[in-house]
Amino acid sequence: MSRLEQLILKLCPDGVVYKTLGEIATDMYRGSGIRRDEITEDGEPCVRYGEIYTTYGIWFEDCVSRTKSGLKTFEYGDILFAITGESVNEIAKSCAYMGRDCCFAGGDIIVMKHKQNPKYLAYVLSTDDIQRQKSRGCVKSKVVHSSDTKLKSILIPIPPLEIQQEIACILDKFTQLESELESELELRKKQYEYYRNKLLTFDQRGGGEQHSGDSEK
């Protein structure tokens, strides 16, 4: 029996309790708009909603952008949701902030504070079942919107913190393995392209005119 199975048997033998995000959130609020021209090389770290879709994974420690114009902040352990997007199937993508700085949240980001394991929440909020809950009721159009009201209704499993920690550690190991495999695959791809180009590149010889002359005989 694995350690996780032992913990489940010991700490929740009757099953895991499900709660809504509204029940586990100690606070949930919207960020403040940060325009593209307000991103600077210095200033305080910040996240704009589009970066949650394009830049950050399940969790992150460092912000790629900085600004001097932020108003609403987030900190270690907070969950960020992008409530505007282009796809119903990806709306409200979320991630956990695991860094130590106090950062600014851009507009169309919902910040959720809580007392759970942040990585566990980030992983469970990325599952297909939870994504279906995020997408439910959203209208497909050029721009898709969600809201804090919709997010608060999302139902997720909330096992004891010790089990949350164990699950997060297991999934972290798989995430690291996946990253290593992707790096290895990218290296092999570049190696293949190099040898493919080298092996299929030849010195060009003359003779075109001779062939033309032969065809006239």
The single residue listed with the structure tokens 């509204």 is 22
**Which tens digit of pLDDT belongs to each residue from 100-119?**
999 999 999 999 999 999 99
The pTM of the full predicted model, rounded to 2 decimals, is 0.83
User: Which H/E stretch holds residue 178?
Assistant: helix 161-199
**Which tens digit of pLDDT belongs to each residue from 141-178?**
889 999 999 999 999 999 999 999 999 999 999 888 88
Q: pLDDT grade, residue 216 (50/70/90)?
A: very low
Mean pLDDT of the chain: 91
Q: How many CB atoms lie within 10 A of CB 16?
A: 13
Q: pLDDT grade, residue 95 (50/70/90)?
A: very high
What domains lie within the chain, and their CATH numbers?
1-16+160-199 (no CATH), 17-158 (3.90.220.20)
The answer to whether the CB of 163 falls within 8 A of the CB of 12 is yes
